[in-house]
Homo-oligomer: A and B are copies of this chain.
């Protein structure tokens, strides 16, 4: 298809859902326009999903790729305790995929998730390239001054995670069953993020690159250490401790809260924030190396 026709098609698909009245202009102009509400902060994140790194064309259907691209960004909104508002989707594809089937599949997967979380597809970019490249920017909102940060953890705070760990890495190895499906279609923890923000927890982030690396990042931003116990980790069925510690893409929330704070969600306490060297993590009393996903290591 010609670019103009592709954009017209995307615009039609996007118009099936136009929920939020604060996005006053979407696809079709040089920019999307948002009219902010009073007393809110807006949060923004961008995340790549790249062929050969986050997916392959033979294992992932176009709808899986669309889902995953949006889910990765929404997971960052969840980590801030934000309610999703809109997304911008930059998509580059080879000429061989520029017929309507692949593109429609991609946007249908993305928009199904967008509809579920009331995210408006407000714009983006489209280009031809040798490989499939997606970069999704998401905007979310929180009441002013309430966004969850990585930097709020204090020594003595308890460390928690939502859900189970290691499922995505395990699914990636076995390529079958519910964990593979989970790897293909991760669910952003938007509702949990909003509930935790309202509960008044001290710090949060999402688990995209593995607990060992992500917990170290949270601790560095908070200038604390942490101590966790392997026997407390909520392992997904079939997943190993290694999967849970170093496997990426679980997209669960990692957070901290003062010991007295009651958390009324199904979460698991896995350890405690310490006064040690910023970013230093102990597992069962011994130093834990961050073996999570580092793009350039």
Contact = CB atoms under 8 A, between A and B. Distances in A.
Interface residues on A, range: 35 or more
B147 A46 contact: no
Contact of A122 (B6, B33, B44, B206): B44
Contact of A34 (B31, B44, B149): B44
A45 B123 CA distance: 7
B46 A42 contact: no
A104 to B, nearest CB: 14
Interface stretch (A12-20, A59-67, A132-140, A231-239): A132-140
A97 to B, nearest CB: 10
Given A2-B296, A3-B295, A28 B221 contact: yes
Interface stretch (A75-83, A240-248, A264-272): A75-83
Interface of A: 1-4, 6, 24-25, 28-36, 38, 40-48, 50, 52-53, 76-77, 79-80, 82, 86, 88-90, 92, 95, 98, 122-131, 133, 135, 137, 139-140, 144, 147, 149-151, 204-206, 217, 221, 294-297
A52 B131 CA distance: 12
Nearest to A149: B29
A297 B127 CA distance: 11
B128 A25 contact: no
Q: Can you list the 8 inter-chain pairs with the closest CB atoms, starting with the nearest?
A: A36-B36, A31-B43, A135-B135, A30-B79, A30-B76, A46-B88, A31-B45, A137-B137
